[in-house]
Structure 1
């Protein structure tokens, strides 16, 4: 195993992590929570 193999593995793991976070962020079950969090700056008490 040389440095290029390690670089390829890190690249693939980074891409898989990115896709996982993207899927989590756009999940329908998280939409309501994110919409509520987006409105926090506009609420006045």
Structure 2
């Protein structure tokens, strides 16, 4: 059961990472800077938990 949760967390973290890349690109085009920095912090937290 534990590995099942790890698979879910891995999938979620991977999709968050993809969303971060997209939002960073959008932020660069809109001159906002990296708008996915909160995603990166959350991703680092999830990876440290696993």
**CA separation in 2, counterparts of 1:4 and 1:33?**
38
User: In 2, Cα distance between the equivalents of 1:23 and 1:5?
Assistant: 28
The alignment's C-alpha RMSD in Å is 1.1
Q: Deviation of residue 19 (structure 1)?
A: 0.4
Gaps of 5+ in 1: 35-45
Q: What's the TM-score once normalised by structure 1's chain length? A: 0.59
In terms of Rg, which structure is larger?
1
Q: Name the count of aligned residue pairs.
A: 31
Looking at both structures, which has the greater relative contact order when contacts are Cα pairs under 8 Å and sequence separation is at least 6?
A: 2
Residue 32 of structure 2 corresponds to residue 33 of structure 1? yes
Provide the residue aligned with 1:11 in structure 2.
Answer: 10
Give me the TM-score of the superposition, normalised by structure 2: 0.54
